[in-house]
Amino acid sequence: MSAVLEASGLGKRYGHKWALSECTLAISSGKVVGLVGPNGAGKTTLLQLSVGLLRPDAGSIAVLGGHPGTGPVQLSRVGFVAPDTPTYSGLSIRDHLWLGAMMNPSWDGKLAESRIDKLGLDPSQKAGKLSGGQRAQLALTMAVAKRPQLLLLDEPVASLDPLARREFLQGLMEVVAEHGASVILSSHLVGDLERVCDYLVVLVDSRVRVAGDIDELLACHYLLTGPRRDHGDLPSDEHVVSESHTDKQSTFVVRTDGPILDPSWSVEQLDLEDLVLAYMAHAIEQDRRPKLEVHS
Amino acid sequence: MIRVTIRQFRTEGIVGFALLAALAVVLAVTGPHLAHVYDAFQSSCRAARDCAATTNPVLKMDQPLQSALPFIVILAPALVGLFFGAPLIARELEAGTYRLAWTQSVTRGHWLAIKLGVIGVAAMALCGLITWMANWWQSPLDAVNQNRFGVANFSLLGIAPIGYAAFAFALGAAAGVVLRRTVAAIAVTAVGFTAARLAVTYWVRPHLASPIHESLPLSTGSGPGFLYGDSQGTMDYNAYIQSGGPTPRVGQVVLTAPQVNVPNGWAYLTTAVDEAGRAPTSHYLFQACPVLKQFSKPQQPLQSPAALQACISRLTSTFHTVLTYQPANRFWPFQWAEMGIFLTAALALCGLAYWWLRRQYA
Amino acid sequence: MIEFNLNKRSGVAPYQQIVQQVCHALRLGFLEVDDQLPTVKEVVGAIAINPNTVLKAYKELEHLGLVAARPGVGTFVIKTLSDDSLAAHGPLRQELKRWLGKARQAGLDEESIEALFRDVLWSTSAEGAA
């Protein structure tokens, strides 16, 4: 399977601050990827690097085998929806579709019109007068109608109410089902991602903390509860992701390929939200520790 | 992409060309009559052989329009820079719509080139037409005034305004790219354009070609005069005070050269000098014309102008006028040069805009 | 046409839920042989889930021998899970309603009813096996 996104040591800085650093990813096609992380973690930076709106300061990135943003062919293969779904407020929906047709040789006008029709939108309505959810659907239509192989969506549902969010995701999944596009969707709402994503990338504070197929990740992470002990007491093949202790009890989130043999543990599976939270807590912990520690 | 650009700038384009049409109507209605009056008077004064002594009534016609037209022609390039150039790219960066525009199938370079090219050409065409129409309307007046090459008029005529328009537009667009805010870009464009125009008019244009120095008798034109430096300013007799001309220190007197008219040429300045090219010193003048000492006693009416005139007649044997000027036949080469300067600057600014865009984004 | 629901809290994998719901419908006779299952696009358009989940579920159903994919047409039911006992469903349903009415009148809440039912179900099937 070919890779839709390959990044190696990718980094981007603004002044002295690195918005994204040492990002290495290999995502194969046919997946719906959830990109999760707190605000300012680097999600927008990664997506903008992938679509050619930003230039890397370190490392490399290849999207669909090509350099992002170079040449009309590369641009036509990648669809992008930016946060707060920018549209031209003075232009009508019909104008937007016309714009898409003029600027994209691979534009599928029928698909665009039928989507707008199915959504019940009035083509003569100016984009500035649409609700947030309607603008998001317009932006998605514009990204989708050029028949891209990869769709990049940067927090497209962040400012939408639950119904509008659900409708947006329904529309998005229909597009994936029908046209087989790969999707990278960033959000800080894990609940939405759980429904639609099959691959997860967690970004915290400019670094990738975990990346993998969701089913595999959920299968190899466990929540262990038991009597108070130190994380050094755990077998070496059980990697501690996060831990918390009371004076009598310890709770660990561990990642391991083998079974948990110690009977003193109560073992549970995690759901996606818990998994993401564990890695986010771990990241904050890691970054707070002094750099003098030697990591094996 | 061309049609997209036009569609996005539809409002500005309509306003601009509507104003052009309105101006065209006003000028078309009044212009022919103006030309007719001029021609009629010219034939009658030629018949009566008193053209030099009489004034063509055309100078008094349509006074409001006569005063307004230079403003319109001067402002047109600036307005085009402010309203076509500054918002061109700043608007997209400000509103965030660049994230929509740059993720279609059009590359950054292509997008920028079409936007700058299409709207830039429209800006130049708009200003070019305004200038051409104004010049056409004004031609009888120009024929009477014969001052096309003068500092103020030169910028209103011919093809130079096309260069100004291109520059103002490119400056606006580049400011928009760098500042990413329309209002800030407008401010920078207004200041920058004004500064550039003033700089070229006063520091570059005079040096585009070496002016001609012509020697004339001292009594040419309005004749020479005297300028005396008083503690409260200057006092003069028949003096033509010109910028770049000599000014006397307190208690000193200078000999001022006469004003010489070069029809449709550009007179820089006139100086009164001797055969070796030296201006007379104050000391020499007081000695040659003792009557000049009356200037040192202020608040007294000028005594014996006849003596001053006699003094002047004596000086004409030693001194003559040197006229520094550009002849009328250099008008069009200067126009081409000035347009060329501003066009080149415009292209450089477009290059800057492209380079900055690629550097900031990708 | 069958409609699916996704219960995030049930602890059952989404694709399994779809399989179970299809089996459930088959058992109760809501789906019969030659009925078409909704297309992947229809399913994800109704409940926003990953199309691969639906594909996985349909593959599982194919594996169980319950459905078959006809290329270019759709996925169709080929075997039913209900049997002649379907006819008995009607009167049984009525009796169950009556019994539930009595249980509620006796003051049992939902959980107690469910606990009672399960207990009897296990104990009787254990007896049956023995």
Q: What is the 3-state secondary structure (H, E, C) of A116-164?
A: HHHCCCCCCCEHHHCCHHHHHHHHHHHHHCCCCCEEEEECCCCCCCHHH
pLDDT in tens, A61-77: 999 989 998 889 999 99
Question: B258, B224 in Cβ contact below 8 A?
Answer: yes
Per-residue pLDDT 10s for chain B (362 aa) are 899 999 999 999 999 999 999 999 999 999 899 889 888 888 888 888 877 777 888 888 888 888 899 999 999 999 999 999 999 999 999 999 999 999 999 999 999 999 999 999 999 999 999 999 999 999 999 988 889 998 889 999 999 999 999 999 999 999 999 999 999 999 999 999 999 999 999 999 999 999 999 999 888 878 888 888 887 777 788 888 887 778 888 888 888 888 888 999 999 988 888 888 888 888 888 888 888 877 777 656 666 777 788 888 888 888 999 999 999 999 999 999 999 999 999 999 999 999 999 888 86
Whether residues A176 and C47 touch (CB distance < 8 A) is answered with: no
pLDDT reported for residue A293: 44
**Are chains B and C touching, using the cut-off of 8 Å on CB pairs and a minimum of 3 such pairs?**
no
B3-22 residues touching A, CB cutoff 8 A: 3-4, 7-8, 11
Task: Report helix angle B108-145 to B63-80, nearest 10.
Answer: 160
Backbone angles phi, psi at A164, to 5 degrees: -60, -35
What is residue A92's three-state secondary structure?
Answer: strand
User: What DSSP character marks residue A22?
Assistant: E
Contacts of residue B356 in chain A, CB cutoff 8 Å? none
Distance CA A27, CA A5 (A): 5
Q: Are residues B338 and B251 in the same domain?
A: no
pTM over 0.80: yes
pLDDT reported for residue A34: 94
Whether residues A84 and B99 touch (CB distance < 8 A) is answered with: no
pLDDT of residue A296 exceeding 60, the answer is no
Give me the residue from C6, C14, C44 closest to A173, CB to CB.
C44
Contacts of residue C50 in chain A, CB cutoff 8 Å? 32, 173, 176, 195-198
Percent of chain A with pLDDT over 70: 97
Answer positive or negative: Cα dihedral of A34, A37, A38, A44: negative
pLDDT in tens, A98-119: 999 999 999 999 999 999 998 8
Question: A263 to chain B nearest CA, in Å?
Answer: 55
CB pairs under 8 A between A and B: 79
pLDDT reported for residue A59: 93
Residue B1 near chain A (CB below 8 Å) = yes
pLDDT reported for residue A107: 93
Whether residues B103 and A70 touch (CB distance < 8 A) is answered with: no
Contacts of residue A68 in chain B, CB cutoff 8 Å? 362
pLDDT reported for residue B17: 92
Residue A79 near chain B (CB below 8 Å) = yes
Show the tokens assigned to B302: 């000028």
Q: What value of ipTM does the predicted structure carry?
A: 0.87
- The residue of chain A nearest to residue C55, with distances taken between CA atoms, is A177
Chain-centre distance for alpha carbon B334: 12
**Residue B145: domain span:** 2-210+330-360
pLDDT reported for residue B324: 92
pLDDT in tens, C72-82: 888 898 888 77
Ramachandran quadrant class, A268 (left: phi over 0; alpha: psi -120 to 50; beta: rest): beta
What is residue C24's three-state secondary structure?
Answer: helix
Residue A129 near chain C (CB below 8 Å) = no
Whether residues C50 and A172 touch (CB distance < 8 A) is answered with: no
Instruction: Identify the CA nearest to B249 among candidates B283, B225, B218.
Output: B283
Q: Are residues B241 and B291 in the same domain?
A: yes
Q: List the strands of the sheet with A78-81, edge to edge.
A: A78-81, A150-154, A182-187, A32-36, A199-204, A207-213
Q: Are residues B204 and B217 in the same domain?
A: no
- Give how many domains chain B has, as a whole number: 2
pLDDT reported for residue C73: 86
Tokens 């639950």 locate to: A162
Whether residues B97 and A88 touch (CB distance < 8 A) is answered with: yes
Give me the residue from B4, B7, B105 closest to A146, CB to CB.
B105
Q: Are residues B203 and B296 in the same domain?
A: no
Pick the CATH number of C8-77 from 3.90.100.10, 2.40.160.10, 2.60.120.10, 1.10.10.10: 1.10.10.10
Name subunits touching C (3+ CB pairs < 8 A): A
Question: C1 to chain A nearest CA, in Å?
Answer: 18
Identify the contact set of chain C against chain A, taking CB-CB distances under 8 A.
6, 8, 14, 39-41, 44-54
- The residue of chain A nearest to residue C11, with distances taken between CA atoms, is A271
pLDDT reported for residue B55: 81
Domain ranges of chain C: 8-77, 86-129
Say which residues have a Cβ less than 8 Å from residue A266's Cβ, sequence separation at least 6. A224, A225, A226
Q: Are residues B89 and B144 in the same domain?
A: yes
Question: A48 to chain C nearest CA, in Å?
Answer: 24
Answer positive or negative: Cα dihedral of C23, C24, C26, C30: negative
Q: What is the 3-state secondary structure (H, E, C) of chain B?
A: CHHHHHHHCHHHHHHHHHHHHHHHHHHHHHHHHHHHHHHHHHHHHHHHCCCCCCCCHHHHCCHHHHHHHHHHHHHHHHHHHHHHHHHHHHHHHHHCCHHHHCCCCCCHHHHHHHHHHHHHHHHHHHHHHHHHHHHHHHHHHHHHHCCCCCHHHHCCCCCHHHHHHHHHHHHHHHHHHHHCCHHHHHHHHHHHHHHHHHHHHHHHHHHCCCCEEEEEECCCCCCCEEEEEECCEEEEECCCCCCCCCCCCECCEEEECCCCCCCCCEEEEEEEECCCCCCCCHHHHHHHCHHHHHHHCCCCCCCCHHHHHHHHHHHCCCCEEEEEEECHHHHHHHHHHHHHHHHHHHHHHHHHHHHHHHHHCC
pLDDT tier for residue A245 given thresholds of 50, 70 and 90: confident
Question: A248 to chain C nearest CA, in Å?
Answer: 29
Q: Are residues B320 and B180 in the same domain?
A: no
Residue A65 near chain B (CB below 8 Å) = no
pLDDT in tens, A124-138: 999 999 988 889 889
Question: A176 to chain C nearest CA, in Å?
Answer: 7
Q: Which amino acid is at B170?
A: A
Q: Are residues B43 and B121 in the same domain?
A: yes
Q: Are residues B155 and B76 in the same domain?
A: yes
Q: Could you give the dihedral angle defined by the CA atoms of residues B247, B251, B253 and B254, in that order, rounded to the nearest 10 degrees?
A: -20
Question: A275, A35 in Cβ contact below 8 A?
Answer: no
Chain-centre distance for alpha carbon A241: 20
Ramachandran quadrant class, C65 (left: phi over 0; alpha: psi -120 to 50; beta: rest): left
pLDDT reported for residue A91: 92
Ranges under pLDDT 70 in chain C: 83-86, 128-130
- Cβ burial A199-213 (10 Å sphere, 16+ → b, else e): bbbbbbbbbbbbbee
pLDDT tier for residue A255 given thresholds of 50, 70 and 90: confident
Q: Are residues B185 and B54 in the same domain?
A: yes
Question: A105 to chain B nearest CA, in Å?
Answer: 7
Residue A156 near chain B (CB below 8 Å) = no
Q: Are residues B315 and B335 in the same domain?
A: no
Show the tokens assigned to A243: 């831990």
pLDDT reported for residue B342: 96
Whether residues A87 and B100 touch (CB distance < 8 A) is answered with: yes
Residue A178 near chain C (CB below 8 Å) = yes
Chain-centre distance for alpha carbon B51: 28
Residue A198 near chain C (CB below 8 Å) = yes
pLDDT tier for residue A295 given thresholds of 50, 70 and 90: very low
Question: A272 to chain C nearest CA, in Å?
Answer: 11
Question: A33 to chain B nearest CA, in Å?
Answer: 20
pLDDT in tens, A151-175: 999 998 887 888 888 888 998 999 8
- Mutate which of A33, A137, A174 to test chain C, going by most C C-beta atoms within 10 A? A174
